[in-house]
Amino acid sequence: MLAAVPYWNFGAARLDDHAGRIDTYSPWVYGIATDGTVVPQRAGADTAALRSRPPGTRYVPTVANALDGTFSYGPVSRVLHDPAARARHVRSLVALAESPHVAGIDLDYEDLRAGDRAAFTALVRQVAAALHARDRTLSVDLFAKDTDAGYAPRNVAQDYRQLGRAVDQVRLMAYDYHWETSGPGPISPTPWVRRVLRYATATIGADKIVLGMSLSGYDWVGHRGTDRSVAALERAAGDRNVPVRWDATAQAPWYEYRDAQGRRHEVWFENDRSVDAKLALARSAHLAGVFFWLNEGSADGAIWRAASDGGG
């Protein structure tokens, strides 16, 4: 079981409560400066990440093309297409990986352009070679898709087959099928996840794939959603005395309510039952494991127990 937590949620995630179930900890903590070097996304976040590390876990920090929690294309574009920036970036990644507490590096480079495909693959190969020479691992976070083209240019930029050959682990972000501005709906419906896994296992191989699940949800008003923790959304349903329904097709919980202004809200999230449905897919596909993305609050014990019993 892998836990991925952004720097703003280190305390609220309460990972120590479930330390025995976690083998790898990936704090989402590092970003890319304008010159290509790797820096903490926020001052002191790297120190806080180490303090929040659950005991006995492998420490594999994530580097994203983001600063202060906001993704930016400019820095990663320079790393991909400027030889000097790329060289600085690789040296900086190696320096981070050589820290005695670091077992490997995870790359989360998002919102790339279709024309970045070859350059991104080349960068990942270069980083993988440098880390492997130092007995460190490399993982890469990929958007979920069920064809090579996917549904957006950022999907084209990620060559599943070639990236899978280069790295030790591929982390499939199989969530945000619906997101903040998409309008309401399931975040990780099992029919979609099944299609994603069918494509991914055919192009990468199951033994390198880790299936990602986001342990949060969205509360939508129209097409505007607010990201909230599972605990907060379940508590809100109880406070409003509204029934939590189950979508049998998506295998996901949801509910609706009206606020004091009379506006209709629609809420979708994950719980132990929906997580267990995706764990079953991971098991049937013989994946290397699963990871939880905890960007808001913590997950309840039932979810962790489900993962411990069947997640790998």
pLDDT at position 304 is 80
pLDDT at position 14 is 84
What 37-40 contacts at long range (C-beta under 8 Å, 24+ apart), as own/partner pairs, is: 37/88, 37/89, 37/92, 38/63, 38/89, 38/92, 38/93, 38/95, 38/96, 39/67, 40/7
pLDDT at position 17 is 82
The answer on pLDDT for 211 being more than 70 is yes
Mean predicted confidence (pLDDT) in 153-157:
91
Q: Give the confidence band of 299 by pLDDT, cuts at 50, 70, 90.
A: confident
Lowest mean pLDDT among 167-176, 211-220, 295-304: 295-304
The answer on pLDDT for 305 being more than 80 is no
> Is the Cβ–Cβ distance between 198 and 146 less than 8 Å?
yes
- Burial of residue 53 (number of CB atoms within 10 Å: 0-12, 13-18, 19+): buried
Convert the pLDDT of each residue in 243-271 to its tens digit: 999 999 999 999 999 999 999 999 999 99
Mention every residue, 6+ apart, whose C-beta is less than 8 A from residue 61: 26, 27, 29, 30, 46, 49, 96, 102, 105, 106
Q: Give the confidence band of 310 by pLDDT, cuts at 50, 70, 90.
A: low
Mention every residue, 6+ apart, whose C-beta is less than 8 A from residue 252: 186, 187, 188, 189, 190, 246, 268, 269, 270, 274
| Stated pTM of the model | 0.95
Convert the pLDDT of each residue in 85-143 to its tens digit: 999 999 999 999 999 999 999 999 999 999 999 999 999 999 999 999 999 999 999 99
pLDDT at position 21 is 87
Percentage of residues in the chain having pLDDT higher than 70: 98
What are the residue boundaries of the structural domains of the chain, listed by start? 2-216+270-310
Kindly state the tokens that stand for 85.
């920036």
Q: Which CATH class is domain 2-216+270-310?
A: alpha beta
Give, in order, the Cα–Cα distances in Å from 213 to each of 59, 160, 271, 284. 19, 19, 11, 16
The answer on pLDDT for 308 being more than 80 is no
- Rounded CA gap, 283 and 286, in Å? 5
